[in-house]
Amino acid sequence: MPDNQEHSSPHQHQEHQQGQEHHASPSAQQHPSPSRHETSPLPQQHPSPAQKSDAKGNANGQRGPGIPLKDRLWAFYAGKYKPLFIVPLLLMLLSLGIIGAGYASTGSFIVKDVSLKGGATITVPLDKEIDTPAIEHAIRAAMPGHDILVRGYGIPGQQQGVIISADIDINSKEQLDALLTAISSSLGSPFKEGSYGIEFFGSSLGASFFRESLIAMLVAFALMALVVFVYFRTFIPSVAIILAAVGDMLAALAFLNLFHIPIGTAGIAAFLMLIGYSVDTDILLTIRVLKRKEGTVDERIASSIKTGVTQTAIAILAMGIGFAMAQSDIIRQIMLILIVGLTADLVFTWIQNVGLLRYYLERKGRT
């Protein structure tokens, strides 16, 4: 059935080294449909000696009635990979725009929490439900000129306490006392010594930690890129992997900016974790597409999508549970950044990176 499609393709002149002549039916059998793919015998898909193929061959050939929607979608995805670049590009530009707007208004490309800009966080366990915005309002009124943030923590449906962060000068006893007084009066009951936790952050430490983290991040990125380059020894595929990681991080950063979610030291850890998770799927894809010989390029991409999307979906599931359940702000912060970054990774890996690999193979096939 699908064999004749190749010959009707207008892109027939674009030959590829990988793949095969009778261009089997990636459209019919290799799209992410687990049951069909696994059970199909695919007899005609062994590499042919000619090693000729046209990855885009079926793009136009499959339009028309009678062809399942899934197949048409795959044909669109595989054939129109160049126009599809607009999606990751827009996402990246949008992210940069949001980050830039944030930078223009606050002078920083992230909303820093007190651990990065200096101040104190006070965690007060409570045995009753309280109105967090009202408390935040009351403390703000009592401490004019300070940035006060109040969040509740606990398991869903049961608040277990509040976390108050304030950008006070930690060397000023008066400011700390004023803050503690404001908190206890807003909570309606003086809290007793030892029942609450306080963390102080010096502003100079925050600034130097932030600078350091940026360096650490750059070094991490450089080392990661080095490993990728040394392994693949080709420019475009390696850059594609790195670009996907950049895209993930920008998207997560933009999300944090958009919703004014402050991040601290834990956030930095999360961004480094994001590099790792992001690269996982890209490496899987690139090894399968470039280093494997069985099947067509489309088949290998489809199999990577199956494995990679499973990985990402399971990771997002586990992290969603972590985000919903965790009491610790640190853990929640990490989970949120990973969830957003991994969601963006679906676009940056399966549209941008796949597209770049197709482009690379196409170019390589031509020269």
Question: Taking the complex as a whole, how short is the minimal distance between the CB of residue 317 and another protein, in angstroms?
Answer: 6
Question: Taking the complex as a whole, how short is the minimal distance between the CB of residue 193 and another protein, in angstroms?
Answer: 7
Question: Taking the complex as a whole, how short is the minimal distance between the CB of residue 116 and another protein, in angstroms?
Answer: 10
Residues 6 or more apart whose Cβ sits within 8 Å of residue 127: none
Please identify, using beta-carbon distances, which residue of 47 and 100 lies nearer to another protein: 47
Please identify, using beta-carbon distances, which residue of 61 and 247 lies nearer to another protein: 247
Question: Taking the complex as a whole, how short is the minimal distance between the CB of residue 198 and another protein, in angstroms?
Answer: 5
Please identify, using beta-carbon distances, which residue of 152 and 202 lies nearer to another protein: 202
Question: Taking the complex as a whole, how short is the minimal distance between the CB of residue 272 and another protein, in angstroms?
Answer: 6
Tokens of 172: 């000023």
- Using CA of residue 335, residue 341, residue 344, residue 345, what is the dihedral sign? negative
Tokens of 28: 């019919």
Question: Taking the complex as a whole, how short is the minimal distance between the CB of residue 312 and another protein, in angstroms?
Answer: 9
Question: Taking the complex as a whole, how short is the minimal distance between the CB of residue 40 and another protein, in angstroms?
Answer: 8
- Bridge partner list, 149: 165
Question: Taking the complex as a whole, how short is the minimal distance between the CB of residue 15 and another protein, in angstroms?
Answer: 24
Please identify, using beta-carbon distances, which residue of 98 and 210 lies nearer to another protein: 210
Please identify, using beta-carbon distances, which residue of 256 and 275 lies nearer to another protein: 275
Please identify, using beta-carbon distances, which residue of 342 and 347 lies nearer to another protein: 342
For residue 14, how many other CB atoms are within 10 A of its CB? 17
Please identify, using beta-carbon distances, which residue of 19 and 365 lies nearer to another protein: 19
Please identify, using beta-carbon distances, which residue of 86 and 218 lies nearer to another protein: 218
Q: Do 84 and 91 form a contact (C-beta atoms < 8 A)?
A: no
